[in-house]
Amino acid sequence: MNNGFIRVAAAIPELRVADCAYNVARMADLVRKGEEEKVQIICFPELSVTGYTCADLFQQQQLLRDAQKALNELQLLTFSTTSVIIVGMPVRVQSHLFNTAVVLQGGHILGVVPKTHLPNNNEFYEKRWFSSGVLADSQTITLSGEQVPFGTDILFSDGKFTFGIEICEDLWVPIPPSSQQALHGAEIIFNLSATNELIGKHQYLRQLIEQQSARCNAGYVYASAGAGESTTDVVYAGNGLIAENGKIIAASERFSFDPQLIVTDIDIERLQAERIKNTNYANDKSAVPYRTIQLEDAHFIHFDLKRTFDRHPFVPPVTNRDESCHEIFSIQIGGLAKRWQHTQSETVVVGISGGLDSTLALLVCVKTADKLGLDRKQIIGITMPGFGTTDRTYTNAINLMKSLGITMIEISIKDACLQHFKDINHDPKVHDVVYENTQARERTQILMDVANKQRGLVIGTGDLSEMALGWSTYNGDHMSMYAVNSGVPKTLVRYLVDWAAHQLDASSEEILRDILDTPVSPELLPADENGDIAQKTEDIVGPYELHDFFLYYMVRFGFSPSKILFLAKNAFADSYTDEVIEKWLKTFIRRFFSQQFKRSCIPDGPKVGSINLSPRGDWRMPSDAWAFEV
């Protein structure tokens, strides 16, 4: 494996029905091409040695002898290759003929898996020619002069990953064989198929493959018969589809007359991480044992990935943006609405800085008030200018509150902070952590006390990314009475605010656009000589898009720093150098571990996506754990 990835291929060869010698020669061509591309396992379609549409020719002795001879030839042609090869062919065992998958490596047959479920409908009547694999009464057969494992109870493994095989119709039944194969350890399922084309069938097939790979937390490689098959009554399009845990990651060109090799990489470590969290893999496993056939290592350790990775894994695709953003807002609104009603609060109080996070929190408050039929004046927005507040953010905060029609209060924190510096004997010219945190805590005190006075709830504005980095002042902006953004990472905050801008009037949209263009900053240090923000968060802790990427793969899948670094280099190759990515990954790991104590006592807040850092269920970690090495 290469950083946990296995390279697989679905092969759609050129084919002539019943011309076995021709077929294996073309298959060998694709095997050699796969070797050049460092493919570790290559899967061919159902009955690819003979062709699927041979019909009654399957009962001809000559075709069966030709198939056996062609298999021997394929063994010779691929003797010097290291890839695992899975081909489909009819195999006679005593009085039964089976539709099988034959697994080869280095010219040797490793095992033979017969088809379990045979279609019996107007288009296909396989029971006319084949027997189900459940009728096999022997665990070994003689094939090409070798005693080889045979049966539906076989898995294949090299000790690092395991795969299983099912054939075409096996996928379409209520409980596919791959379900139990996955429960018994198979991380990848290979399906040798011959699926004909009908109106609407292709979309259903894609959904079926995606769903099965999701249910099994598995990779799924589907290789289906192509244009070389007979078109007497139906047509085949050559569907090569590869899915990983619910998503198609590679696909062939349908209705192509050219041979195709669809190659991609499946992340075994990601699948294993999903399964570690899913204890049903132990509970639902059948008592029927599976045999595991040992593979030889394909030796392809280093290769450039065929896949690319989304640099913003928390951000939904643009294709369903409206639906996704509406859903996220609905979750935030639903959480706040319940808390607002349950506490019988008359108001909600939120600090408005003119930055992204407080903007999103305010939008959630406004939408919640509207949903509950409450007056927006019951939302109290407080802007609290301090030593680092710039005209730009101050103006945006004021204008945003006015445009949304909430109650607006302005309270300067400068005098209170200067008095506090005097009380604790701190020189206000020293712009250290005391200088910064005094301002953050003063703002929180104001919010809390106004909420008490107005029978309100203080709404937290901090986001998931800040929680991960500990980028908050303990008992300052770290604290609130309900934290509506606690499940939303910074990249998603920006995405939501950008979407919300389109939903508002022109004046409000203009304000949100300027907020989106403003550098992220706590504004706790004085502005520069031009009156601009001097304290830019991403200059200090690093780009949030990198930190969100690190956070996703560390918490969602438990990946090691080396694996995360490998993925980040792939995703951000055109934006950051390897040295820069590694630098900020080290920062992320150090801060994530050292700042757990803040996460151990965070307020309630709604979970939005697959990751949250609440200590009450989603993330439990000792505050004094030693940080991982990068």
Element containing residue 224 per DSSP (H, E): strand 219-224
The CA distance from 124 to 300, in Å, is: 40
* Furthest-apart CA atoms within the chain: distance in Å: 101
- The catalytic residue among 115, 367, 490, 563 is 115
Pair of tokens at residue 567 = 């993925």
Pair of tokens at residue 316 = 């939904």
Closest residue by Cα to residue 487 from 329, 381, 366: 329
The CA distance from 524 to 439, in Å, is: 7
The CA distance from 583 to 561, in Å, is: 12
Closest residue by Cα to residue 376 from 350, 339, 415: 350
Closest residue by Cα to residue 605 from 332, 329, 362, 327: 332
The CA distance from 621 to 441, in Å, is: 26
Asked whether the beta carbons of 84 and 295 are under 8 A apart, the reply is yes
Residue type at 404? L
CA dihedral 484, 487, 490, 493 (to 10 degrees): -50
- The catalytic residue among 20, 43, 168, 216 is 168
The CA distance from 603 to 626, in Å, is: 25
Query: What are the backbone angles phi and psi of residue 51, rounded to the nearest 5°?
Result: 100, 140
Asked whether the beta carbons of 219 and 8 are under 8 A apart, the reply is yes
- The catalytic residue among 20, 38, 43, 46 is 46
Closest residue by Cα to residue 607 from 446, 484, 512, 440: 484
Q: Which residues contact 72 (CB under 8 A, 6 or more apart)?
A: 144
Q: Reply yes or no on whether 46 is catalytic.
A: yes
Cβ neighbour number for residue 240 with a 10 Å cutoff: 27
Closest residue by Cα to residue 247 from 193, 305, 307: 307
Produce one character per residue of 139-150: b if its CB has 16 or more CB atoms within 10 Å, e if not.
Answer: eebebbeeebbb
* Residue 601 three-state SS: coil
Pair of tokens at residue 375 = 């007056």
Secondary structure of 266-298 in the HEC alphabet?
Answer: EEHHHHHHHHHHCCHHHHCCCCCCCEEEECCCC
Asked whether the beta carbons of 134 and 152 are under 8 A apart, the reply is yes
Residue type at 321? R
Q: Which long-range contacts (CB under 8 A, 24 or more apart) does 198-204 make?
A: 202/237, 202/239, 202/254
Q: Please, what is the Cα angle at 203 between 200 and 209, to 5 degrees?
A: 135
* Residue 602 three-state SS: coil
Query: What are the backbone angles phi and psi of residue 250, rounded to the nearest 5°?
Result: -160, 145
Pair of tokens at residue 571 = 């995703």
Q: Would you please indicate which residues are annotated as catalytic (active-site) residues?
A: 46, 115, 168
